[in-house]
Amino acid sequence: MALCRGPRSREDEWVRSIRVWSASLAGVVLAVLGGVLPVPAQATTQPFAPDGVLFYPSVGGLMPALDLLHPCSASVVHSVGDDLVATAAHCVYGSGPTIEFVPGFHDGKAPYGVWSATRLYVESSWKAGQNPNADVAFLRIAPLRGREIEDVVGARPLGTPIVGAPVTVSGYPLQAGVPNVCSGTLSLSLGYPTVRCAGGMVDGVSGGAWVQSGALVGVVGGLEQGGCSPQIAYSAPFGTASRQLWQRAQAGGPGDFVLPGFFANSCR
């Protein structure tokens, strides 16, 4: 659902993609000319503290400070280093730097500060051919003011989706200041976790959290990069492969280099 909601024409997709990258380029130019400062941390009681948005390409809090488009959503997942964020693989590219995460994002504000990714991790089948079954990524996040992100905003444990049980899915629309939330019964479509919504699954919610009993059991992505209709959301299956990826990210070894995946969607 990162720029792949639909149904849309190929031209619609191209125009939306150009908008995102034009906004990013404009932000870089404005920063050079005007010396934009990062968004400061502020006190808050937001209920979705582990959830937030991804900005890229952005460094030093540039894009959040300019209130530019945020293409994807993400959430903090528990790890031994207290420093991992989960999102969809089609939401990330490069090796991590230039991707920034803003937890608890609301109304254009960064209540917990702007956090920088240092490395990213994806499954080998995503790197090889952008397999939708592997549409999940973990980002290592650098400390901010001497603290790890999980110590500041909390985190959810990694879980496995349970078919037939209630699930809550949340993600931030491309130009909205608060997350859209969808609750329903988790089912399967062609093997992909699925939930029916009332129209809130739109551009920008890709990578958003799927939560069952307090555990992170998916991220918006997978089939059709999360779905081509606002009334439905998909996730890549969370199981052995995603847990092994999480363990590799926890270990802190070399990350992956990823080519952009959000242009190659099937919403035509």
Write out pLDDT tens, residues 154-190. Answer: 999 999 999 999 999 999 998 767 889 999 999 999 9
Whose tokens are 């059709």? That residue is 224
Instruction: Indicate whether 45 pLDDT > 50.
Output: no
Instruction: Indicate whether 33 pLDDT > 60.
Output: no
Confidence band of 1 (pLDDT split at 50, 70, 90)? low
Q: Which helix (H) or strand (E) holds 87?
A: strand 84-87
Count, residues in the chain = 268
Strand, coil or helix: what is 137? Answer: strand
Q: How many CB atoms lie within 10 A of CB 60?
A: 14
Task: Quote the pLDDT of residue 153.
Answer: 96
Q: pTM for this one?
A: 0.83
Q: Which helix (H) or strand (E) holds 153?
A: helix 149-153
Strand partners, 196: 232
Two structure tokens written together for 151: 């110590």
Cα torsion through 220, 221, 227, 232, rounded to 10 = -30
Task: Quote the pLDDT of residue 218.
Answer: 98
Two structure tokens written together for 209: 């959290």
In the chain the domains, ranked by start, together with CATH numbers, are: 10-155+242-251 (2.40.10.10), 166-237 (2.40.10.10)
Average pLDDT over every residue of 250-266: 82
Task: Quote the pLDDT of residue 261.
Answer: 75
Q: How many CB atoms lie within 10 A of CB 145?
A: 7
